Amino acid sequence: MNKVDKPEAFDLDALRRGQTAGDDPLHKVEGERKAEISALARQIASQYAVANYSPSIVIGQLRFLEFLSLFGIALGVNFFVAVDPGAHFLDTSISAFVGSLLALLFMQATDCYHVSILRSPMGSMARVLGSWMASLGLVALTNFLFIDYDPNYRSILAAWFVLGAIYLLIERNLIGFGFRRWGRNGVMERRAVIVGGGKPAKDLIRALEQQPENDIRICGIFDDRNSARSPDVVAGYPKLGTVAELVEFARLAHIDMLIISLPLSAEARIMQLLKMLWVLPVDIRLAAHSNNLRFRPRAYSHVGAVPLLDILDKPIRDWDSVAKRAFDIFFSVLALILLWPVFIATAIAVKMTSKGPVFFVQKRHGFNNEVINVLKFRSMYTEMSDPTAKNAVTKNDPRVTPVGRFIRKTSIDELPQIFNVLRGDLSLVGPRPHAVLGQTRDKTFGEIVEGYFARHRVKPGVTGWAQINGWRGEIDTDDKIKFRTAYDLYYIENWSLWFDLKILFLTPLRLLNTENAY
């Protein structure tokens, strides 16, 4: 067997730069014109329109619940059993914190937080209780050696262990019931689409169905081949359309994963598919169960015993998305507290100097290409405003009011987008949302930049990496939108909270450069 890190054909950096595979019309989605999907595909997409629960998020919440519960039980036992609860409250709190934390670490180390384990809790109860006992044993030993403990400490420790064990037994069984029910109802699952039909797809589906730990719900199959080469129904699942139609299907449905069911030898075809599909905010996997090549273990993810080669991962997912949302809310509220005088002064200036509303609403592309309504302070005369932004604002544009000229140069007109952030349409930091009909001369941005819509794999932002590097203002040349997109894709691939913080704090400094802001 050949052992390599990854096949040379999968040059993902080249893919993102648009330098692979040539100009096959199959993977040109100019301007991402929407393919008309079938009535069946639209009906199935509507069934998955509501997002499901992420197992990672649910398990994280379970860890937090168990920690707080065990900690609370310890404090309650101390209150009712200790001779003098107040005298040893600090010692008890520290012991409770350490013991609860150790219990979580031991349960994590013994794999007690795996989805399959949580579905059948009685099979892992010995490990759960063993972890709980080991954690209390370490706490007891430490206290006996170093701390002046309460006279009833043995009773406190015994009560804490017994009540904690009873809690874990009941709670784990309730969670197991919930996991099984959520699995049956499709509330907590990974929704997948198979790309490619025929026998490879059938073999993959059968392999997945045989796995007792399978948490994948197959939503359908997409294949460009006709019915003679790729049957309309494979292993009971319908073929819903072509790969071009899959892009629109994934915009309508909350899909978690695309599994390409093609052999590695079909590298040209796989690269064509990737150039179409990598713009979607989903995991992309290559079925590897029937391939003879073997890569290093870190290149794979598994569904039971079925290996899948990890090609692309959804950016900013699970707890990263929670952290980013918390970051957005905190700094948005802080900005409103600090900048409310600017909001009021700007609103008065806009209203007093020209007729019309204070705010201007513009439709722009948001996450996953959804159309969102973005708020701005109105900077144009009402009768000359351009809600579609088809005609970009240029230097000395007669449509812009005197106040509008100032607030556009200083980007004060963008401040109301903080309300979009609080509403969840935008993030504070991310690729700037462009108008739906945004274009340079006679070409849309999607026609100029291959992979342009990959910017929408994350929420757009009020400020971004491209903007603080000088790529803001009018887009009057092809190079400007190309460089913007390149910076946006770099941000997505290298995201972190520290990166967001850096961009946020550099933004006021870089706004001093008003060269391209009209």
CATH of domain 3-52+189-314: 3.40.50.20
3-state class (DSSP) for residue 21: coil
What residue spans in the chain does CATH classification 3.40.50.20 cover?
3-52+189-314
| pLDDT of res. 172 | 95
| pLDDT of res. 501 | 95
Separation of first and last alpha carbons in the chain:
61
| pLDDT of res. 362 | 87
How would you write 379-434 as a 3-class SS string? CECHHHCCCCCCCCCCCCCCCECHHHHHHHHCCHHHCCHHHHHHHCCCEEECCCCC
Distance CA 463, CA 429 (A): 5
| pLDDT of res. 394 | 65
Residue 39 contacts by C-beta under 8 Å, 6 or more apart in sequence? Answer: none
| pLDDT of res. 375 | 92
| pLDDT of res. 224 | 84
Residue 414 contacts by C-beta under 8 Å, 6 or more apart in sequence? Answer: 376, 462
| pLDDT of res. 141 | 86
In this prediction, the residues of the chain whose per-residue pLDDT falls under 50 are 1-12, 14-32, 518
Distance CA 253, CA 45 (A): 5
Distance CA 397, CA 48 (A): 46
| pLDDT of res. 108 | 94
Give the C-alpha distances (Å, rounded to integers) separating 473 from 289, 327, 360, 435, 510. Answer: 49, 26, 18, 13, 13
3-state class (DSSP) for residue 284: strand
| pLDDT of res. 233 | 87
